[in-house]
A and B are shown apart, each in its own frame.
Chain A
Amino acid sequence: MGRNLRLENLTKQFGMLVAVDHVNLEIEEGEFICFLGPSGCGKTTVLRMITGFETVTKGKILFDGKVINDLTPKKREFGIVFQSYALFPNMTVEENIAFGLKVRKMSKKDIAERVDQMLDLIGLRDWRNLYPAQLSGGQQQRVALVRALAPNPQVLLLDEPLSALDAKIRVRLRAEIKRLQQELKKTMIYVTHDQEEALSIADRVVVMEAGQFRQVGKPIEIYQCPNSSFVADFVGTSNFFKGARSENRVNTGSREFIISQRGDLIKEDVYLAIRPEKIEVFKYEDPPNHLERSNIVPGRIDVVTFLGAAVRLTINIGGEELISDIIEKEFTQRQLKQGDEVLLYFPPEAFIVYPVPVKEGSS
């Protein structure tokens, strides 16, 4: 067991508002954890409690087996990367990186060595004498990253570090952060509202909603087996049907789907979720054979949106709208276009079934 970070019943209240509600998590040394959730879900508050900039209302934060609730941010020696970069505008790149080392009273020689090492990590050696204002957003965030890493923090916390950057740089920098993390084997805690970012970068993802952890798991688990309709909806895109299940059949009122999951005999209200890329689309004149007949539904293509490699179709089935993503090659081969009458096939194993939450079911 290394220097683990543990959250025990961690709770934060702002007046009457419960921002973080009794959350528990064990983060292992060297792990890359992502907190993912919509804005206002409490993910940043969890991060700020870990950094020490926010006090803990209830519960414990343990690091290396010791409670650190009352430790000042300075004493925790956790590095932080901010959304706004927060580079010191009055200092050069070099001075920014050296700041944390200087306040630790390291020798000049050691500082110079460490700064070089850090600049090499991000390939910005030539920029050392520039001021932050002379750098692009992406470069600034790279500097901020190594500035936080320079004093060799025990844990690196990143608060939506890429949100202020444009899409291309975001993807590039995200890969760079991942590479650094694997190279340095540093524990990193990363907060984001961008699910693609979370899924691509983290060892484990924590999906948050309303101050609670809804699901904790590897990215692939979160995507393939979301444990609630919230997670299914928030992570990736999902089509939902509400219906009543008996055994492996779900009646949605207008149609009946066969699902591969078997439940009890008792009739219960459920949600069916299916990812857009799991739905198959065929021309009406060209019906598929050998497929489960009851899972084939006729519809009409309302909108065609090119996403690049994939094509997103908004399809109308008897007044309901659903989304289907097919790869561009298939779209061209099948000669689909807007207004086409089509047949949709929902593979039984692609459905994920959730019980309707009690609150909602009773209404």
Chain B
Amino acid sequence: MNRTEKIQGHTISAPISSDRWLTGITMGFLLAVLIFFMLYPVYDICKLSFYRGKVLTLEHYISYFTNPRMFRSLTNSLVVSCVTTVITTVLAFFFAYGLTRTTIRGKGIFYTISTLPLIAPSIIQGLALILLFGKNGLITRYLFHTDWNIYGAAGIIIAECLYCFPNALFILYTTLSAVDTRLDEAAQSLGATALKTFYKVTLPSAKYGIASAAALTFNLTITDFGVPVVIGGNYSVLATEIYQQVIGMQRFNLGATISVILLIPSVAAFLLNYYLTKKSYALISGQARPFLQPSRPFKKWAFTIYCWIPCIFILIVFATVFLGSFVKVWPYDFSLTLKHYDFPSLGGVAPVWTKFWASILKGEWQSIIAYKYAPIWNSLWVSILVAIGGASLTLLAGYIVEKKKPKGAQFLYTLSVLPAAIPGIVMGLGYILAFNKPYFFIYGTFWIVIINIIICNFTLGVLSSIANLKQIDKSIEEAAVSLGADPITTFTRVVFPLTKTAFLSNMTFFFMRSMTTISAVIFLVSAKVKLAAIEIVFLDIDGRTASANAMCTIIILIVIGMLVAMRLITGKTALKGMSAT
């Protein structure tokens, strides 16, 4: 017992515990980051839209609303978003119903295929539709010899439906699998027909989930840039109009004005979704679900066929782009070639990678891999940093909000979930306005891109961190503290190991978003700073569609590689529950 006397030791009174210090400093840091890199750019946009020089004015709004060509972008956006919302929600609802309430076979395959759009940039839907239904489309030109093509509203809607499908599906799947199926059974045992049960019991119990999926789809569609930029043609929507005004005509005031206009429906849809999600979770019962009764053969067949339809569409999209990257001249010469993977000189350098590849490769391979592939290496490098930085920051923010709960934690939470409300393209423009200043040394470097992507995807990262931390019993941390561990030891030795799986899946999420995002960073790339996903847009604009397909394929392969790696590390499918919010 002599030795242990030493342990008892002396007791020193600490007026302010180191724990509170650390919490305060960390929270201060996170708040500063979110205020400076999220609120400040948005504030700058709002300010610019109301000023000419130093004079407060509404003239930008007046000129937007009085110019029919520009004003059309608002009505176009609303039309496209509303139609997409209705179609996607209905399609995804019955798909989710099939996966949760029937005993069809192949649910795993259906689920996996339906999540595929998450691993590619949204632009892939547009590229595929153009290859099939465009001016030189396989189906339009080659099979039917028609002049009709898909550019415009129809193309945007179909592409957005495919893009939003997994996101809506995820919410509806969660809702329908959580609602107690015994209610359905009770209704049927009381004599209700299947149809009546569906209308009176199933549908009402899923109403918040349905509305939440609809709000999310609306938000994703109205803020998307990748799809309308390739398939919109002359059909301009708000997101593309912002880009046009700023990059095409250097009219920053109008760009800012349209951004504010876009912010309104986008924030409204976000708030609605947020509110409905809370309501929806309140309905979820924690009870175990009883065994699902076998569906009747007709129902099984009908839902199997139904579920294949979106899956086939999604598979066609991926197959088309994949194939499109390997054939000589789509749709006339289908002989295979690798020449589209030899990109035109895109410029830009990837500092470390270029040096590395240049040192080990020679001749043509050197020029392709080391120089022409620079945007890909950049994207990879940026994505790795985004994955580490994003997962770490959101874990810290979640930890403070969920476990430490200091004064102001609610404010931190609010700021943390806000980025999902702000369209990427608006955030991107905000970054130009706020940070394109000589004294702001990280502007024009990769660092601003990395910060931007982390901030834009902060919401889902924080929400999933919080959900995970909620599962850790409060006593576990208290046990560590009572055994004498300091806050840092408690976090690194106890809390972090317990959240490791969630941390890795958060990393995957950030990595995926970073590889595939277009809208936010399109304003931040430059001759020096190039990213693979953005190059798809530029290659497509240059008319090099096949190379755009090739770039898209490479991105998908990298993302799949990451998913496989994560699966090997964690033994779990990382894609589940990873839809964008």
B475 within 8 A of A: yes
How many chain A residues touch B (CB < 8 A): the figure is 37
- Shortest distance from the beta carbon of A202 to any chain B beta carbon, whole Å: 22
B498 within 8 A of A: yes
Chain B residue with Cβ nearest A72: B17
Instruction: Provide the residues of chain B in CB contact with A86, threshold 8 Å.
Output: 473, 475-476, 478-479
B residues 459-483 touching A (CB-CB < 8 Å):
473, 475-476, 478-483
Are A74 and B8 in contact (CB-based, < 8 A)? no
B residues 471-507 touching A (CB-CB < 8 Å):
473, 475-476, 478-486, 489, 493-494, 497-498
Instruction: Provide the residues of chain A in CB contact with B4, threshold 8 Å.
Output: 114, 151-152
A78 within 8 A of B: yes
A30 within 8 A of B: no
Instruction: Provide the residues of chain B in CB contact with A110, threshold 8 Å.
Output: 3
Instruction: Provide the residues of chain A in CB contact with B475, threshold 8 Å.
Output: 82-86
B19 within 8 A of A: yes
- The SS class assigned to the A binding surface is loop
A120 within 8 A of B: no
Are A151 and B480 in contact (CB-based, < 8 A)? no
A168 within 8 A of B: no
A249 within 8 A of B: no
- Shortest distance from the beta carbon of A204 to any chain B beta carbon, whole Å: 24
Are A151 and B17 in contact (CB-based, < 8 A)? no
B249 within 8 A of A: no
A residues 78-125 touching B (CB-CB < 8 Å):
78-80, 82-90, 99-100, 103-104, 106, 110, 114
B287 within 8 A of A: no
Instruction: Provide the residues of chain B in CB contact with A73, threshold 8 Å.
Output: 478, 481-482
A76 within 8 A of B: yes
- Shortest distance from the beta carbon of B188 to any chain A beta carbon, whole Å: 39
Known A71-B13, A72-B14, A152-B7; judge A89-B485 contact (CB<8 A).
no
Known A73-B482, A89-B498, A103-B485; judge A151-B7 contact (CB<8 A).
yes
Instruction: Provide the residues of chain B in CB contact with A218, threshold 8 Å.
Output: none
B360 within 8 A of A: no
The distance in angstroms between the C-alpha atoms of A260 and B489, with both chains bound, is: 64
Known A86-B473, A151-B7; judge A103-B489 contact (CB<8 A).
yes
- Shortest distance from the beta carbon of B475 to any chain A beta carbon, whole Å: 4
A334 within 8 A of B: no
Instruction: Provide the residues of chain B in CB contact with A84, threshold 8 Å.
Output: 473, 475
Most chain-A CB neighbours within 10 Å: which of B1, B14, B15? B14
Known A103-B485, A152-B8; judge A75-B14 contact (CB<8 A).
yes
B residues 382-402 touching A (CB-CB < 8 Å):
none
A70 within 8 A of B: yes
Chain A residue with Cβ nearest B17: A72
Contact of A152 among B1, B481, B486, B494 (CB under 8 A): B1
- Shortest distance from the beta carbon of A52 to any chain B beta carbon, whole Å: 8
The distance in angstroms between the C-alpha atoms of A37 and B23, with both chains bound, is: 35
Known A82-B478, A88-B494; judge A74-B486 contact (CB<8 A).
yes
B293 within 8 A of A: no
The distance in angstroms between the C-alpha atoms of A147 and B475, with both chains bound, is: 14
- Shortest distance from the beta carbon of B31 to any chain A beta carbon, whole Å: 24
Known A110-B3, A151-B7, A154-B8; judge A70-B13 contact (CB<8 A).
yes
Q: What's the interface size class on B, roughly?
A: 20 to 34
B66 within 8 A of A: no
Chain B residue with Cβ nearest A81: B479
Are B15 and A99 in contact (CB-based, < 8 A)? no
B234 within 8 A of A: no
The distance in angstroms between the C-alpha atoms of A106 and B482, with both chains bound, is: 17
The distance in angstroms between the C-alpha atoms of A66 and B12, with both chains bound, is: 11
A68 within 8 A of B: yes
B1-35 to A contact mask, C-beta < 8 Å, 1/0: 10110011101111101010000000000000000
Chain A residue with Cβ nearest B500: A90
- Shortest distance from the beta carbon of B487 to any chain A beta carbon, whole Å: 9
A306 within 8 A of B: no
- Shortest distance from the beta carbon of A355 to any chain B beta carbon, whole Å: 42
Are B476 and A151 in contact (CB-based, < 8 A)? no
Are B11 and A76 in contact (CB-based, < 8 A)? yes
Instruction: Provide the residues of chain A in CB contact with B497, threshold 8 Å.
Output: 90
Are A147 and B473 in contact (CB-based, < 8 A)? no
Are B7 and A104 in contact (CB-based, < 8 A)? yes
B residues 483-534 touching A (CB-CB < 8 Å):
483-486, 489, 493-494, 497-498
Are B482 and A148 in contact (CB-based, < 8 A)? yes
Are B11 and A82 in contact (CB-based, < 8 A)? no
A277 within 8 A of B: no
- Shortest distance from the beta carbon of A147 to any chain B beta carbon, whole Å: 7
A residues 297-327 touching B (CB-CB < 8 Å):
none
- Shortest distance from the beta carbon of A72 to any chain B beta carbon, whole Å: 4
Are A151 and B484 in contact (CB-based, < 8 A)? yes
Instruction: Provide the residues of chain A in CB contact with B11, threshold 8 Å.
Output: 66, 68, 71, 75-77
Instruction: Provide the residues of chain A in CB contact with B17, threshold 8 Å.
Output: 72
Are A104 and B13 in contact (CB-based, < 8 A)? no
Instruction: Provide the residues of chain A in CB contact with B14, threshold 8 Å.
Output: 70-72, 75
The distance in angstroms between the C-alpha atoms of A99 and B479, with both chains bound, is: 10
Instruction: Provide the residues of chain A in CB contact with B473, threshold 8 Å.
Output: 84, 86
Are B478 and A74 in contact (CB-based, < 8 A)? no
The distance in angstroms between the C-alpha atoms of A149 and B454, with both chains bound, is: 44
Are A74 and B12 in contact (CB-based, < 8 A)? no
Are B478 and A80 in contact (CB-based, < 8 A)? yes
Contact of B482 among A51, A89, A152 (CB under 8 A): A51
Chain B residue with Cβ nearest A82: B475
Are B476 and A88 in contact (CB-based, < 8 A)? yes
Contact of A151 among B15, B478, B483 (CB under 8 A): B483
Are A74 and B481 in contact (CB-based, < 8 A)? yes
- Shortest distance from the beta carbon of B14 to any chain A beta carbon, whole Å: 6
Instruction: Provide the residues of chain B in CB contact with A147, threshold 8 Å.
Output: 479, 483
Contact of A100 among B9, B12, B19, B483 (CB under 8 A): B483
The distance in angstroms between the C-alpha atoms of A256 and B494, with both chains bound, is: 66
The distance in angstroms between the C-alpha atoms of A88 and B3, with both chains bound, is: 26
Instruction: Provide the residues of chain A in CB contact with B9, threshold 8 Å.
Output: 77
Instruction: Provide the residues of chain B in CB contact with A144, threshold 8 Å.
Output: 479
The distance in angstroms between the C-alpha atoms of A206 and B330, with both chains bound, is: 86
A residues 241-270 touching B (CB-CB < 8 Å):
none
- Shortest distance from the beta carbon of B1 to any chain A beta carbon, whole Å: 7
Most chain-B CB neighbours within 10 Å: which of A74, A148, A151, A152? A74
Instruction: Provide the residues of chain A in CB contact with B3, threshold 8 Å.
Output: 106, 110
Instruction: Provide the residues of chain B in CB contact with A284, threshold 8 Å.
Output: none
Instruction: Provide the residues of chain A in CB contact with B479, threshold 8 Å.
Output: 80, 82, 86-88, 144, 147-148
Known A66-B11, A68-B11; judge A104-B476 contact (CB<8 A).
no
- Shortest distance from the beta carbon of B492 to any chain A beta carbon, whole Å: 11
Contact of A77 among B480, B484, B485 (CB under 8 A): B484
Instruction: Provide the residues of chain B in CB contact with A79, threshold 8 Å.
Output: 482-483
The distance in angstroms between the C-alpha atoms of A124 and B240, with both chains bound, is: 68
Chain A residue with Cβ nearest B473: A84
- Shortest distance from the beta carbon of A160 to any chain B beta carbon, whole Å: 11
Instruction: Provide the residues of chain B in CB contact with A230, threshold 8 Å.
Output: none
The distance in angstroms between the C-alpha atoms of A14 and B486, with both chains bound, is: 27
Chain A residue with Cβ nearest B9: A77
Known A89-B498, A104-B7; judge A74-B485 contact (CB<8 A).
yes
- Shortest distance from the beta carbon of A135 to any chain B beta carbon, whole Å: 16
The distance in angstroms between the C-alpha atoms of A154 and B485, with both chains bound, is: 17
Are B484 and A74 in contact (CB-based, < 8 A)? yes
Most chain-A CB neighbours within 10 Å: which of B15, B479, B482, B485? B482
Known A76-B11, A152-B4; judge A90-B483 contact (CB<8 A).
no
- Shortest distance from the beta carbon of A15 to any chain B beta carbon, whole Å: 16
The distance in angstroms between the C-alpha atoms of A77 and B6, with both chains bound, is: 12
Sample 7 A-B pairs with CB under 8 A, ordered by A number: A53-B481, A86-B475, A86-B476, A99-B493, A103-B484, A148-B482, A151-B484
Closest 4 A-B residue pairs measured CB to CB?
A100-B483, A86-B475, A152-B4, A82-B475
Given A77-B8, A106-B3, 7 more A-B residue pairs with CB atoms under 8 Å apart are: A72-B17, A72-B19, A83-B475, A86-B479, A89-B498, A99-B485, A147-B483
